[in-house]
Amino acid sequence: MKIIQQIYDKYGFDAMREIWIEELLELACALQQAKRKPIGQEHIITEIADVDFIIEQMKHIYGVDKCNEEKAFKVLRTKEELL
């Protein structure tokens, strides 16, 4: 993805990693908050979209194919556990 490379070129790995951590924590906090009081799906959807975008960034940095292979392995393992 061209935009991901542009982000990486502009901000660098360390800054991107800080943003990744922040976005992951924001989703975790929204999910925790939703257990205590209604916060509305829109807030959680926004945080999921943020995390989805950062996952794409992380896959670009760490290797899309390797990440997809690991995901396929985990999905298969889960299917087998369900049988």
Residue type, 12: G
Mean pLDDT of 32-52: 94
Mean pLDDT of 42-64: 96
Domain boundaries, position 45: 2-82
- For residue 1, is pLDDT > 80? no
Residue type, 83: L
Whole-model pTM above 0.75?
A: yes
Whole-number Å distance between alpha carbons of 57 and 49? 13
Which positions ≥6 away from 48 have C-beta within 8 Å? 27
Q: What integer pLDDT is reported at residue 49 of this predicted model?
A: 98
Q: By the 8 A CB rule, do 53 and 26 touch?
A: no
Helix (H, G, I), strand (E, B) or coil at 77: helix
Q: How many whole angstroms from its chain centre is CA 7? A: 16
Token reading at 3: 């935009």
Number of domains in the chain: 1
